[in-house]
Amino acid sequence: MLDTLTHRGPDDSGIWSDDGIALGNCRLAILDLSPTGHQPMVNTTINGVPIEGALTFNGEIFNHQELRQRFEGLIEWRGTSDTETVLALLSVENPVWTCQRLRGMFAFAHWDGQRLTIARDRLGIKPCFYARTPEGTWLVASEVRALRAVAKFDLDWVSLAAYLRLGYIPSPRTAYVGVHELPPGCVGIIENDAITLTPYWQLGDRPLRWEVSGDESGGLHYQQNPEWRTPDLGIRFEDAVRSHLQSDVPVALFAGGGTDSRAIAKTAADLDHPLTGFHVVGDARDYENAGRIVTDGHLGKLIVDPVAPTLWEGPPKEDLDQFIAAMDQPSIDGVNTWYATRLAKRSGFKVVLSGLGGDELFAGYKTFRTVRYIRMLQRVVSERYADLWPGRLPDALKEPRTLKTAYAAARGLFSQAESIALTRGTLQDACRSLDLNDLLPDAADMRRMELSAYLRSQLLRDCDVFSMAHGVEVRPVFLDHPFVEAALAQPLTRREFCRALGLPAPGRKRGFTLPIGEWLTNGVWYPDLAALQGDLAECPAISLNGILQLDRAHWSRRWALLVLAQWLKGVNV
């Protein structure tokens, strides 16, 4: 298992085993680069009493120094890593209590001599997958490929049908039967033949209330407070940026040029920590926008796509092959992350800040407007006329008319009828029976729907797997959970958020725009559409009819079918 994950942690590795249990870790050293940060971390001594336990940990705890104060005079710390802090907490407190005190992005597995505890951060930034083999062995890993290295799992065709409808596999499902994703904000206790899941945080209708107070050093401390006080979002965002700058290695920024990356860059500069920015462009016109980021975004330095040939001339076909090989589960997203983190790695960085989450919190996507329009249609259009509407709208205008069906029509990829026509065999049967109402999360509004569906199951999952393919950790500043709770408790528009930070009014949304559609058929990755269609014809799950329809399809649909076909080929289907 560990050999399949060396790309995630190239700095160190270790294995610890005891009777019937083994933990392993491939380490990306960011806090405490010395050997005292080696993992798995074993045992601790508190007040002179040795306590057995072993921990393998992935992520960062931004308040771990504050948490260490609980053990003042009781522990002689071996090093300065957050892993040692978490191990100490788990040695004296239950895991739910511990996770409620952690502020950061994390997933871990802890053995206390009797049971295995697994846990994951509140928003699902760090991944955790688990499965139980027919022989009764429990497996846990950061990527599904590690589980598949030691056990065989059948493909889950319903999950692949959901991929065609949404462009991703919705959590907690995976591409394999019997392999599950641990829900965010959840603790799992594996004991004997069962796993018990206990949530310690939920993205519910009423966010937790937090009181914020300062100290002489300029840091902020949070504690739960039943008396809600209107948050100062600017102060909280500044504290989120400050906390995410903690590192024993240099920290950079994905500088897409939009509001979110500008907010991070400006705040970091105000904290006397100007960042190096990375910008990946897909055509020459993007260079002008990228150049403005240095002054508009207060960056110390900007690195823009230095590889040759430049991306608009077209990357080699080997890039496509490497990207598909890095893909743990099929998704139409992640190419920009793969290129941007490769650029960061080649430039000597392994920690990069990101603006992921800003669009979800401040209604930055056009999906918010589209869903409002579809919800209006659901109220006024008779179901008998549903099939007269184009694209995915018929799925939303039939019963049940819910936020979920409206969201799937706005955010989705293929309609149910289209997915059936595109496929054959077992996958086609799954497309016929699929009901997205059973797979999409329950959410009170669009912010929470985007956070718990698109962000969780696609953006964060892809961001992790494609950044860690290059051994780079991405830290989404906007998903600092006290900031998320404050933003949801007092919903603001993007314009209001900019005003709170003293930023100019938001302009056109910008990001890493790559011309994948051109790469597919203009001689970069394939000579022409016929060559792409010929490659797809080898896939046993895609119908000939679907392949012939590609000459009229948007590039994103061609890309989705290519990803599915190449991924299935990679898993020997």
C-alpha to C-alpha distances, 90 to 40, 84, 87, 141, 350, nearest whole angstrom: 14, 10, 5, 20, 28
Q: Tokens at residue 196, please?
A: 């018990």
Give the separation between CA 515 and CA 523, rounded to whole angstroms: 13
Q: What is the pTM of this model?
A: 0.92
**Residue 210: closest CA among 202, 220, 200, 218:** 220
Q: How many Cβ atoms are within 10 Å of 283's Cβ, its own excluded?
A: 14
For residue 55, give the H/E element and its range.
strand 49-61
In this structure, the number of other CB atoms found within 10 A of the CB of residue 432 comes to 13
Cα torsion for 454, 459, 461, 466, to the nearest 10°? 160
Distance, CA of 29 to CA of 382 (rounded, Å): 59
Query: Can you give 344-366 as a three-state secondary structure string?
Result: HHHCCCCEEEECCCHHHHCCCCC
Residue 489: its pLDDT value, please? 84
Q: What's the Cα-to-Cα distance from 41 to each of 77, 83, 86, 112, rounded to whole Å? A: 13, 8, 10, 12
| Superfamily covering domain 2-199 | Aminohydrolase, N-terminal nucleophile (Ntn) domain (3.60.20.10)
168: which DSSP letter?
A: S
The alpha-carbon radius of gyration of the chain (Å, integer) is: 24
Q: Is 87 exposed, middle or buried (0-12, 13-18, 19+ CB in 10 A)?
A: buried
Instruction: Assign 306 to helix, strand or coil.
Output: coil
504: left (phi over 0), alpha (psi -120 to 50) or beta: beta
Question: Which residue, among 451, 444, 429, 509, has the nearest Cα to 256 in the 3D structure?
Answer: 509
- The predicted pLDDT at position 288 comes to 61
Pairing of β 252-254 and β 194-199: unpaired
pLDDT score at 285: 57
Strand ranges (DSSP E) for 153-266?
Answer: 179-181, 186-191, 194-199, 210-214, 220-224, 252-254
How many CB atoms sit inside 10 A of residue 333's CB?
17
- The CATH number of 232-362+448-501 is 3.40.50.620
Distance CA 261, CA 475 (A): 12
DSSP bridge pairs for 107: 58, 120
In the DSSP assignment, the letter for residue 455 is I
Domain boundaries, the chain: 2-199, 232-362+448-501, 515-573
Backbone angles phi, psi at 389, to 5 degrees: -85, 155
Q: Where does residue 101 rank: exposed (0-12), middle (13-18), buried (19+ CB within 10 A)?
A: middle
Per-residue pLDDT at 293: 59
Asked if residue 36 lies in contact with residue 5, where contact means CB atoms within 8 angstroms, the answer is no
* Backbone dihedral angles phi then psi of residue 18, each to the nearest 5 degrees: -140, -175
Reading the chain (573 residues) residue by residue, the pLDDT tens digits are 999 999 999 999 999 999 889 999 999 999 999 999 999 999 888 877 888 899 999 999 999 999 999 898 888 899 999 999 999 999 999 999 999 999 999 999 999 999 999 999 999 999 999 999 999 999 999 999 999 999 999 999 999 999 999 999 999 999 999 999 999 999 999 998 899 999 999 885 344 444 444 444 444 444 544 443 444 788 889 999 999 999 999 999 998 777 888 889 889 988 999 899 888 876 555 566 666 656 555 677 777 764 433 555 678 889 999 999 999 999 999 999 999 999 999 999 999 999 999 999 998 899 999 999 999 999 999 988 888 888 899 999 999 999 999 999 999 999 999 999 999 999 999 999 999 999 999 988 999 999 999 999 999 999 999 999 999 999 999 999 999 988 888 778 888 888 877 777 776 666 667 888 888 888 889 888 888 888 888 899 999 887 877 777 888 999 999 999 999 999 986
CA dihedral 87, 88, 90, 93 (to 10 degrees): -170
Q: What does the pLDDT read at residue 425? A: 95
How many CB atoms lie under 10 A from the CB of residue 72?
A: 7
Contact (Cβ atoms closer than 8 angstroms) between residue 439 and residue 311: no
Determine the Cα–Cα distance for residues 149 and 550; give it in Å rounded to an integer. Answer: 35
CB 209 within 8 A of CB 227: yes
Q: Rounded distance, CA 134 to CA 98, Å? A: 32
How far are the Cα atoms of 175, 420, 427, 532 from residue 430, in angstroms, in the given order? 13, 9, 5, 25
